[in-house]
A = this chain, B = another copy of it.
């Protein structure tokens, strides 16, 4: 049971639609503001009703459409409790389970490191890792309470303990890679496979990435579910 994977070419963000077999309910993960109408049309063509909108974290590189989609569909917006997103309907913690459709379950995994609040979501053998684990890479750890030690523990201590065949769907990809598996990442991920915590910390400390252009706009906006403040 794969999700439907959608892409934003501006920020290279993946959005996922999870459709419950045997029901008309769906969940969307990390929807992007400028695609809210595209995503509504997807739901309409597939004859799906949106039950939940999930965020993996408060993004720094794009603005979410969670608030807009909630307004239009009545779906509940669920966010990591540690991300400072007060207007959400539900603040998620590690181990929480989101239920939708006919017996579908999404398990919430707290996977801090890219941001302190970051969550991954597990559904039917698929894990949605946001910016914690990327295909053959990982999210940066140098802002938003990021921590390379936490990210290492989240990936090596938690995500890599999932079954090898678990499909891994990232929050971004910049190389058209789309999907991987936990087994492949455990063996081949350039930053995390067969690395010690110290080796990983060194790799991350030497990245010297520029400050994301949108961070000062995107993070506050996302902490309000993408809606204008005061609106």
Interface 0/1 of A1-35, CB less than 8 Å to B: 11111110100000000010000000000000001
- Assembled-state Cα–Cα distance A19/B178 (Å): 15
- In the complex, the answer to whether A47 meets B183 with C-beta atoms within 8 Å is yes
List the B side residues contacting A9 at CB < 8 Å: 9
A126 to chain B, nearest CB (A): 11
In the complex, what residue of chain B is closest to A1 when comparing beta carbons? B1
- Assembled-state Cα–Cα distance A47/B188 (Å): 13
A45 interface residue, CB < 8 Å from B? yes
- In the complex, the answer to whether B46 meets A167 with C-beta atoms within 8 Å is yes
- Assembled-state Cα–Cα distance A176/B135 (Å): 23
List the B side residues contacting A165 at CB < 8 Å: 47
- Assembled-state Cα–Cα distance A107/B210 (Å): 51
Docked complex: A177-222 residues within 8 A CB-CB of B: 177-181, 183-184
**Given A7-B7, A42-B177, A42-B179, 5 other A-B residues pairs in contact with their CB atoms under 8 A:** A2-B19, A45-B135, A45-B181, A45-B184, A47-B183
**A contact residues vs B (CB 8 Å cutoff):** 1-7, 9, 19, 35, 38, 41-42, 44-47, 135, 164-165, 167, 176-181, 183-184
